[in-house]
Structure 1
Amino acid sequence: ERILDNIFKWTLALMGKASLGEIRLLDKETNELVVRASQGGVINPDYHRISIDEGITGWVARNRRSMSVPDVSQDSRYLAFIEGTKSEIAVPIMKGQEEIFGVFNIEYPKISAFTDEDVRLAEAIADLASIAIENATLYEEIQKSRDELNLRVKERTAELKAAYDISEATHHAKKLEDIYPKIHEIIKKLIPSAENNFQIGIYDYTKESFNYDPFVKTRTFPYFRDEFESAPPSKPVHIEKGLSDYVLQTGEPLLGTPEVLAELSAQKKIKRIGKHSKSWLGVPLKTQDKTIGVMTVHSYDEDVIYGKEELDALLFVSEQVAMSIERVRRKKEKAVLTLGKVLTSSALRNENELLQRIYNNASELMDTDNMYIALYDSQKNIVRFGLAYKGGRKINTNMEEMEEEEKGYQPRPFGKGKTEAIIQSRKPIFHPTKADAEAWYNRPEHYAYDPGILPSWVGVPMIIGDKVLGVIATYHPEKEYVYSESDVEILQAMANIAAIALENARLYRELEERADKLRAANREIAEKEELLTRSMLASDFVHDLNNLAGTIPVWANILKEKTEDLIFSIQRDVNKLLREGERLKKPALKEDIDMSALLQSLFNNIRLQYYANAEIEMRNKISEDLHSVQAVKAHLSNAISNVIQNGVESVLEKRAGTVKIKAENHTENDHDGVRIEITDMGRGISEENMEKIFEHDFTTRGEGRGYGLWRTKHTIEKYSGRIRVSSQEGKGTSVVIFLPRSKGIH
């Protein structure tokens, strides 16, 4: 507008007699010529906007030609915009040769006021005006784009800050309930009207074992803030036709303006209950195209109407919230797997330490201020408490040191409480409400021990094979719905791992006692060659024992789906060790060994032990027609197994890598035989340690190890074989074994 006003001033100064006129620019959307600047006289508002088909100005715009009208009263096309006009010049303002910007009108209150020279001057001014208008238009567009960009940058910065804050909240959260209030605080910064009205709803996937119909979906609102409505029940309810339910079922966002909500209600797609909000906005919480929940904001204020800006902000944050919810859920799964590795490690064999680790791990995932672990002695038919917490305080379960108020946790004969019912049924008991607990205790076969009937209680069995070792239970003395079905699943997974760990600890103690007896027997007859062999077998036995203790964690990873297979495999390994011990009583005999079958069996057994570990990859290329080798099968099997096991452990210490086994017929120094190459991409061996690896008792892996490679070298050379090792620290190790072909038993 300033530029157009200046054009008029320049024109008046140049012509000296021009005192009236206007500049009209073309509105391309309406195809109208609109006054953007005018000078002098009384204007007629009816002609502020005229069609390009009207008036002298319209004719000039359509034909892109200038026109001089000496007497406007004689031209029927004239529209009297400025009062007092007698003569007029109208010239087009062009952009290039074809595109028109508008029309420049110069008027005067006398007839025949303008000459041809005035027309040419007006055309020259119009050309300059065209350039000025184009530059001004570009400037305005750039300014508008910059303003829009600055606004978007500000909005995007706020969204990214929200995403970061949600990620931080998730990182420090132990439970989902911990992050919901923080999410609300973040949403309020993006949508201030959400301060008093914000909800998060979550799909509740319960299990059939808790009387759940798998074809009926339910949801809960773990976080609910509304300035008028009270929070719904915390128990799962069926999804029906509420606004949140609509978003959950469709998986699509809903911008609920009054018109949209009225239309959905008329179509019976939603059923509005409670106090009606004036504006409502809901977005689904999705992970990998799966809807896991809904997040909503709404307002009862008629002046607050949500639009695309609020929708985009909530959609962006919803992605972060969904990922955060899944991340916290994965934390629970990871915590269970971590517990499995810890409980079944060879270093943790004390019962009290095992039970304390279970409690500590469970405390990270659920309320365990009141928790106990009961152990069942089937021979004495009593229940004793290995660990107990009450009100967050650890109870001393030692009978001799137990205080009077702790007497409820002393050993008791097998009775009629929930603990005994779980042991008998081998199934969990879950009472989310006091009414559930009362219904259970109303049966005559049940009895309520201290602390009586509770509003929230869950207990799960610790089972291994056909034995129930005990029960893990936790409760809340005041609140209902403290625990969910997912908590039951987690607690059961922990109980299954605990059962294996407790059984492993017992088996380990028994095996250690037997190993001590075997070693004592071997020392008495160590002077004879056969006794030396038996001594080596005893050491093999101890070595296998340590390997068994170190590889047990794999069973925890496949616990949930393959408990029976797991137990069978553990018992098989234990029985194998015991059979090896019995062989000490018999002389070891050489035989022709099918090397293809032996190596394939060793590979399969070790791969099975570690198949659930994503950090290690095992490969083999074993020829099916390998020569036979004459040896004591147990000795040779143990020697080769030691090398493979060392490779696997080296890869695990590095946290990732591959172990390869290659075997083929080979001729070395004119002797036919079998060449076995075992390569790992583990941490490798330092130059300093390469000189010591075959020394007896040398190890880098802790006390009680260091026997395997010494025994392997002794065995390979005993059967006229050779073993070579090459290694590069940080990159891996290669072990090559050559064994001569069997010439038959004589």
Structure 2
Amino acid sequence: MKELRSSETSLERYRDLFNRVPIGLYRSTPSGQIIEANPALARMLKYPDVDSLLNINAKDLFIDVQVRDQWQDQLKRNGYMASFEVQLRCFDGSIIWVEEHTTAIKDDQNKVLFYEGSLQDITRRKRVTRDLEEHQRILSTLMSNLPGMAYKCKNDEHRTLEFISDGCVLLTGYNPRDLVHNAIVSFAHIIHPEDLQVVREKIQLAVDVKSSFTLTYRISTASNHERWVWEQGWGTYSPEGTLLYLEGFITDITDQKLAQLSLQESETKFKTLYESTRDAILLLEGETFIDCNSRAADIFGCLKDDLIGKSPIDFSPERQPDGSLSSEKASEKIAAALAGKPQVFEWQHLRKDRTPFDSEVRLNHIDIGGTLYLQVIIRDISEYKRAERTRMVLLQISESVNEVESLETLLERVRGLLGKLIDTTNFYVALYDEASDTYTFPYCVDEYEENDSYTPQQLKKSLTDYVRRTGQSLLVDDETFQELCASGEAVLVGVDSKSWLGVPLTIHGKHIGVMAIQSYNDEYVYDCRDLELMTFVSDHIATAIERKQAEEALRRREELFRAMIVNSYDVISLCSSDGSILYKSPSVTRYFGWAVEELVGQNIFNFIHSDDKQIVRNHLNELLAQEGISHGSQFRYRHKNGDYRWVEAKSTNLLLDPSVRAIVTNYRDITEQKKADEELKSSEERLRILFEYAPDAIFVFDLDGKVIDANRFAGQLTGVDRNEMKDKNFIRLGFLDAEQGKIARKVFLANKRGEPAGPDEIILRNASGREIIVEIRTFPVTIMEQRMILCIARDITERKQFEYELIAAKEKAERADRLKDAFIANISHEIRSPLNIIMGYTNIMTDILQEHMDPEELAFLDSIDSAGQRLMRTVDFVLDISRLQAGDIEFNIGDILLPSLLKRVTNGMVPQAEKKDIELSFVNDAGNVIIQGDEYYLAQAIGNLVDNALKYTRKGSVALHLYRQENSDDVILDIKDSGIGIAEDYLPKLFEPYSQEENGYTRAYEGIGLGLALVKKYLDLHDASISVSSTKGQGTTFSITFPASIIVTNQ
């Protein structure tokens, strides 16, 4: 009972839960008959109570039959149905959406007893979902049709997008998925680099104060086009105030922006036009200027303030060029314009500095705020007027170019016409000849200078030459000329002018000369306009010169051709198709004795040898068969004296040429050539004999070294029959070893390049094994139009043996010579030691005894000292020459200030010169020359020369002169004396050791002939050269040349 009561309690609780649960619950038979339902289901289906639901078949509640069948099939198959959404019809006919969960309750035999299920009303949820989807659709449609794009992004450096509308495609060219989360490109990346930083700063500023932001900037689309966009955005923040993301809208304002920029540009343009127009624009109220543009001030040469408040009369002369009063005429024009009649007229104005200028004036009335004003437009037409005059001048020049025959007359007329526009008082045209690098003056008028038009002149560094070289027109004042001179481009040629203007004369890009004008007294006479005018005229002048030169060349060519025909070695003949002679050149008389008039009208066959007539006739027929062809032939032509001469003729068919209409024949007498051919055959035979019997071996090779021919001696030299050598490569015949083969190949290669080779020596082993030293010379030659190599080989074995013996003898002699030099050095040393003692004691004796000895006794001691000094110098010379020849010398190279050294040497010789009353001088025209060398040896060399000059000069002078050599960087020292001179036959031996001039009175002078030999060797050490010129009895000049290679500074 207790269990029964417990069960009943549970059932009551279940029943209570079944009735109270807000979810509809039901149980139905397998056929669908509802047998149990809770109140929630009745309320859900809007039935009055639960009982009214009972016995209703659940299948009848389904709206969609197909859905019902699907529901029933799945329930039978699976035994349950979970979360099945379906529409059901309510008791009042309304329709609701429900979510159903159904389970089949089965017995032990798996038979369905009934179905239990639950229903939940989801109608509101479905409606909300549908509304939400509709709202999303509408929002998507709105987004898609907006002229821009909405976005949601992070506030990071990339502006990482979390959402972007489809308008992104139209605006940026990118698909939204390309930009969201920076999949392919970030939004920051497409912002123009110049605008990106400003965009970031403005967004951050708005975020800092939590306000919205508005931006205008540029983006770069996917197709790399630039667009202007307008963006409005705002931040979304957390409750704590932290920025979560940015939201906003971006639209394309490119057209608007471009229109705005265009408007700004238009405003700027109109303002610029007003200010920068070439015309003066002024606003006139009554007869007073109240406004003007900058050009007006420029034209009148004043400031704007100088014009405002002034009347047009203030800037006009008293009278206009037509004689009318400016004040009356101005009032008349102003009144007419104010009356509505626009005025256009020419007027002469005055600038602020009172210089007049021509102008075109336009007056138009305008209404501004009900007040009438005049718009005054003034155009400076001074240049136009000048251009009008210029056009007339240029037209007359152009007509003159075609009318005048003489170039001189044309240039005279050009000068007169240009004189209407510019000062042509001094005017010339210079033509350049490239071959001679000179100028001629076909026309020249000058106040101070006269130029012979036919005398060529070299105008190096002149303004004329500068303009021709550069091809640039040039206007030169004094300042410009000084700049050109300073740069080395020009020097003064002729009389200095104040202003000079020159333009190049150019034909086909080549500068053939210069046309120039100049003024000797007015620096400002020419300006850039004159330069342009002259440049333009120069084209006409160059064209005229070209035409005149062409006419002259044509005339010369005609004369040349006429002279060539008259003096030609060829006879020129014109004949008709049947052979009738129409023309003969005068040379026919010189070569064949016939007068021209004796031949014209006759037939050519009357003068041709009978054996050759058919040959000539055949050639004539071949010529007549085709117009324009040429044909050559040889035949015999009758001389007036009855002899027949061989001629070589070339004929061309020009019968259809309207300027000729004949067969043209050039023929010449080749009788002597025929004889020469016979002689040539004989000469060839003689050459063959010379080739065969020449004392040297002669080979003819092709360019690869193959033997083409060889003479008899070639076979003897090699020991091989020459016929066996033919067509074989000489190197491979076995006469040469590897080393000698290399030499032969180099020789062949040189000749292959067209370069002769030799003499070269090679060692050849002939067929018998004997080594022969052969000297070869090779020459590239052309035989029968083929390039070959001619080789001449000479056996020099015996000569080489003789040379070896000669060299050995020479070496032996040189060893003997060195022994001699060593011997002399030892002897000189042996002499010097006792000599030093003698001289030393002599000096001591002189110092001690000079007060106790009379002059005659002192003279003995002086003689001993003088002889000792002479002997000491001789020993020094011998020692120095020995050291030089033995190579035992220390050569210390350093920088030598040459003028300073020469002064020291000269000053050291002054006592010796004064003792003989000889004038000794040194002149430096070379500046501070510094050379590299040994100062001691160079001083010795120059000192010896000066000492010799003083020694061999009895009276007069010895002069040293240092100067630069013309057209060279070398420096020369001349040592000139007025002494006894040197015999001409002795000059070649002058610098040989131990040589002295034997005849004459030179024996009266001391020396052993080593001084000049030492000088030569000292100078050789310095790479300097010495030369001498002398006249017996008149003096001698030694010249030392210091080459540029040893000069360190040459200032």
TM bucket by the smaller chain?
0.3 to 0.5
Q: Work out which structure has the larger RCO, using CA pairs closer than 8 Å and 6 or more positions apart in sequence.
A: 1
TM-score (norm 1): 0.33
Of structures 1 and 2, the larger Rg is shown by 2
